[in-house]
Structure 1
Amino acid sequence: MARPETIKFGKFFVRLSDGESPPAFTAPCGFTSKSFSRNKTLAEVEVPDCDDPDAAAWSERDVQSMSATISGSGVLAKAAMPTWEGALESTDSIEAEVEFVYADGTSDYYTGRFHIESLEITGSLGERVQVSITMQSDGEIAYERTDGS
């Protein structure tokens, strides 16, 4: 069996645009946990067997919409707060990119616009203050693989 190529946490990047043209993307500091998910909303219809109406119907599904979510949590980093607050306060979505970098230099990129849906700050006695961010896509998400050369 061939061993699969995997990546470490430090090669999973979530970066936000500075809003300039062309945009510069930077990763706000502090995340110790990150996630990226892509989703489909499906419409379901039951299709009967016309030759045997008593037979179980089969479900057929059509894609209604697609979306993506970026979330992360970790320590509250002073330098990152203006970025998070600016994106949260804006009524416009911001450009963001997610990148996975493999050992051979190949990268998988996902880019699109996102709204900051939630920013939660928590603290407990004897621990560092924590932050949790959730971002929801606003429109199409593009995927690209670069070959690393």
Structure 2
Amino acid sequence: MIGDGETPEVFGAPCGFTSLNLTVNIETSSVNVPDCTDPDLPSWLISDEVSKQVVVGGSGVIDTDALQDWRDWLLEGGEKNVRWVTSGSSANGGGYWQAPGILTQYSETGERGQRWNTEIQITLNGAPTWTSAA
């Protein structure tokens, strides 16, 4: 869901997406730790988390009225507040992640005789907050 930037902010789900995805990228730093008991053995890599980043995306046949909103965001840039909603009650894991996001990928593809398909990715800026469903 994308926020409209107004006060109070209203979030709307983009119409036309048939596929959605959420990816968490975790950057690590690794160090070789030798086996001091038997230095001839291979060392083991020990990794530490350095940073995290959430990317949400979707693809589908987007309504032509909504398509201009995506194109405007692409050209104007900047952040919009984004919610990733998980259906269900709080007891069933329902709720949403929210953070400002930047449109970082936009593509339109088409094949002869078919509707144009749009694919987007939004990179969340900073740590998202989780709000459980009511």
Answer yes or no: same fold by TM over 0.5. Answer: yes
The reply to whether residue 140 of structure 1 matches residue 127 of structure 2 is yes
2:105 to 118, 122, 127: 118
CA distance in 1, matches of 2:34, 2:108: 51
Residue 90 of structure 1 corresponds to 76
**Cα separation, 1, equivalents of 2:83 and 2:53:** 14
Provide closer, same or farther for how the CA distance between residues 141 and 127 of structure 1 changes in structure 2, counting only shifts above 3 A: same
TM-score by length of 2: 0.88
Deviation string 1:52-104 (CA, Å, 9 cap, x unpaired) is 211221211111110011111110311212321232223322110001112xx
> Superposed, which structure 2 residues align to 1:41-56 within 5 Å?
41-56=27-42
TM-score by length of 1: 0.80
Q: Which residue, 39, 52, 62 being the options, matches 2:48?
A: 62
1:128 is matched with which residue? 115
Superposition misfits of 4+ residues, deviation over 6 angstroms = none
Cα pair distance change 1:126/1:139, threshold 3 Å? same
User: In the alignment, is residue 72 of structure 1 matched against residue 68 of structure 2?
Assistant: no
Gaps of 5+ in 2: none
Q: Which runs of 5+ in 1 are unaligned?
A: 1-14
